[in-house]
A and B are shown apart, each in its own frame.
Chain A
């Protein structure tokens, strides 16, 4: 028998392997399990929100939205810094001067009070 004939024979046998198959039997306690599921109280609003948010499309949309808001916030803060840059720097300098006068760590040159 040639390899091709052998393969054709295998295919035929395999296609016939479901002949005379018996029906698979379901769990004997199927009805009890169905009743238990039907009696289970439906989930509250938290479960509803969770199942909605956990859908892949919704989750990806939320991630993209958060990233967009972050990008917008970063871009927005950069612009406002450029506009009010001088004010901010002077405010910062004033604040640090004040802080420096209070927290002076240059002990050796600190005049005695």
Chain B
């Protein structure tokens, strides 16, 4: 099996086999990270493709200061967050649709994303949690997803997000507080 450094060097020389090996080796990691953030399987697949195309195009900028997987996580997270920002911008123009009566429903959004890796017994609860995660600020969402979904340590998360371990601890603490608050509102509404 070819090691990571050699793969990167070969990819820098435009080796297609090295590129294929990289895609096959890291595709689940990239897809899972993006899926957790965008919470849509079709969009996650398209974005995973975008990530690997960026890797192919930008590999010359990878200096090896961090692990290749850290660099990959960083591209995946940024790509997913950029996509969410672009979606939000498009939603702001949704008022035009509501004027013509073709959209802009103010219906309460029900939890509808089901992560394929969740245990069946927890399916409904996880959907409620994902809905709450979706409402978190970007940096809290990224930290929470990388830690909970990808199982990264706080140190690894801090390297991906280019911040300190204490900053990640703070992000996780605030994310948990926000999630509790949202879940409390949700269960108050649905249990009383």
Contact = CB atoms under 8 A, between A and B. Distances in A.
B28 A25 contact: yes
Contacts of A27: 31, 45
B53 A34 contact: yes
Given A3-B191, A23-B29, A56-B93, A30 B45 contact: yes
Interface of B: 20, 23-24, 27-32, 35, 44-45, 48-49, 52-53, 56, 89-90, 93, 115-119, 122, 125-126, 128-129, 148-150, 176, 179-180, 183-184, 187-188, 191-192
Q: Tell me whether chain B's interface is mostly helix, strand or loop, or mixed.
A: helix
B125 A13 contact: yes
Contacts of B27: 26, 30-31
Interface size class of A (residues with CB under 8 A): 20 to 34
Q: Tell me whether chain A's interface is mostly helix, strand or loop, or mixed.
A: helix
A31 B22 CA distance: 10
A30 B23 contact: yes
Contacts of B28: 23-26
Interface stretch (A4-12, A64-72, A100-108): A4-12
A15 B129 contact: yes
A74 interface: no
A11 to B, nearest CB: 5
A21 B149 contact: yes
Nearest to B93: A56
A24 B45 contact: no
Nearest to A31: B23
Given A3-B192, A24-B28, A15 B180 contact: yes
Given A15-B129, A30-B48, A34-B23, A21 B148 contact: yes
Nearest to A38: B53
Contact of A37 (B20, B49, B115, B188): B49
A18 interface: yes
